[in-house]
Structure 1
Amino acid sequence: MKVALTAASALMLSTYAAHAGALDRTGQSVAVLFEKGRYAEFSFGSVSPSVSGVGTAGVGGGSSGNMSEDYLQFGAAYKADINDTWSYALIFDKPFGANVDYPTGTGYFAAGSTAEFDSNAITGILQYNLPTNLSFYGGIRLQTIAAEAVIPFVSGYSADGDRDFGVGYLAGVAYEMSDIALRVSLTYNSKIEHELDTVETSIALGGPNASTTPVDTPQSLNLEFQSGIAKDTLLFGSVRWTDWSEFEITPTNYQTLTGGGSLVSYNGDIVTYTLGLGRRINDTWAVAATVGYEEPIGGFTTNLGPTDGQTSLGLAATYTKGNMKISGGVRYVMIDTTETRAGAVAPAGIFRDNDALGFGIRIGYYF
Structure 2
Amino acid sequence: MKTYFLAIPALLASTAIVHAGGIDRSGQSINALFESGRYAEFSFGHISPDTSGTSVAGLGSRDSGNATESYMQFGAAYKADINDKLSYAIIYDQPFGADVDYPTGTGYYAQGAQADLDAHALTGLLRYRMNENFSVHGGLRVQTIEATAAVPFVGGYTVNGERDTGVGYVAGVAYERPDIAMRVALTYNSSIDHDVDTTEFGAAMSTTEIETPQSVNLDFQTGIAADTLLFGGIRWVDWSSFDITPAQYQGATGGSLVSYDDDVFTYSLGVGRRLNDNWSVSASVGYEKSNGGFASDLGPTDGNKSLALAAVYTRDNMKITTGVRYVNIGDAQTAIPGFAPAADFEDNDAVAFGVKVGFTF
TM-score bucket (shorter structure) = over 0.9
Classify the secondary structure of the residue corresponding to 1:69. coil
Correspondences of 1:2-21 after superposition (within 5 Å): 2-12=2-12, 16=16, 18-21=18-21
Query: In the alignment, which residue of structure 2 is the partner of 1:302?
Result: 296
Matched, 1:263 2:257: yes
Classify the secondary structure of the residue corresponding to 2:300. coil
Query: In the alignment, which residue of structure 1 is the partner of 2:57?
Result: 57
* Contact 1:4/1:285, CA 8 A, preserved across alignment: no
Matched, 1:250 2:245: yes
Query: In the alignment, which residue of structure 2 is the partner of 1:124?
Result: 124
Correspondences of 1:8-87 after superposition (within 5 Å): 8-12=8-12, 16=16, 18-87=18-87
- The 10-residue stretch of structure 1 (11-20 or 173-182) with the greater mean CA deviation from structure 2: 11-20
Shift of 1:14: 5.7
Counterpart-to-counterpart distance in 2, 1:8 and 1:136: 21
- The 10-residue stretch of structure 1 (268-277 or 123-132) with the greater mean CA deviation from structure 2: 123-132
Counterpart-to-counterpart distance in 2, 1:106 and 1:190: 42
2:216 to 213, 217, 221: 221
2:266 to 243, 265, 272: 272
Counterpart-to-counterpart distance in 2, 1:102 and 1:129: 50
Equivalent AA in structure 2 for residue 124 of structure 1: G
Query: In the alignment, which residue of structure 1 is the partner of 2:193?
Result: 193
* Contact 1:267/1:298, CA 8 A, preserved across alignment: no
* Contact 1:239/1:274, CA 8 A, preserved across alignment: yes
Deviation string, structure 1 residues 85-112 (Cα, Å, up to 9, x no partner): 1010000000000000000001100001
Equivalent AA in structure 2 for residue 77 of structure 1: A
Equivalent AA in structure 1 for residue 135 of structure 2: S
> What is the aligned length?
361
Query: In the alignment, which residue of structure 1 is the partner of 2:109?
Result: 109
Query: In the alignment, which residue of structure 2 is the partner of 1:212?
Result: 207
Equivalent AA in structure 2 for residue 70 of structure 1: S
Deviation string, structure 1 residues 91-145 (Cα, Å, up to 9, x no partner): 0000000000000001100001111000000000011101241000110000000
Shift of 1:5: 4.4
Shift of 1:262: 1.3
Counterpart-to-counterpart distance in 2, 1:50 and 1:5: 35
Classify the secondary structure of the residue corresponding to 2:328. strand
Correspondences of 1:90-105 after superposition (within 5 Å): 90-105=90-105
Shift of 1:60: 2.5
* Contact 2:5/2:181, CA 8 A, preserved across alignment: no
Shift of 1:19: 3.1
* Contact 2:7/2:35, CA 8 A, preserved across alignment: no
Classify the secondary structure of the residue corresponding to 2:16. helix
Equivalent AA in structure 1 for residue 131 of structure 2: P
Q: Given the two structures, how large is their TM-score scaled by the length of structure 1? A: 0.96
Unaligned runs of 5+ in 1: 202-206
Query: In the alignment, which residue of structure 2 is the partner of 1:235?
Result: 230
Matched, 1:320 2:314: yes
* Contact 2:91/2:124, CA 8 A, preserved across alignment: yes
* Contact 1:7/1:327, CA 8 A, preserved across alignment: no
Runs of 4+ in 1 over 6 A off after TM superposition: none
Query: In the alignment, which residue of structure 2 is the partner of 1:204?
Result: none
* Contact 1:5/1:279, CA 8 A, preserved across alignment: no
Shift of 1:350: 0.4
* Contact 2:19/2:329, CA 8 A, preserved across alignment: no
Classify the secondary structure of the residue corresponding to 1:305. coil
Call closer, same or farther: CA 1:6–1:127 in 2, change over 3 Å.
closer
Equivalent AA in structure 2 for residue 36 of structure 1: S
Q: Given the two structures, how large is their TM-score scaled by the length of structure 2? A: 0.98
Query: In the alignment, which residue of structure 2 is the partner of 1:347?
Result: 341
Counterpart-to-counterpart distance in 2, 1:288 and 1:33: 21
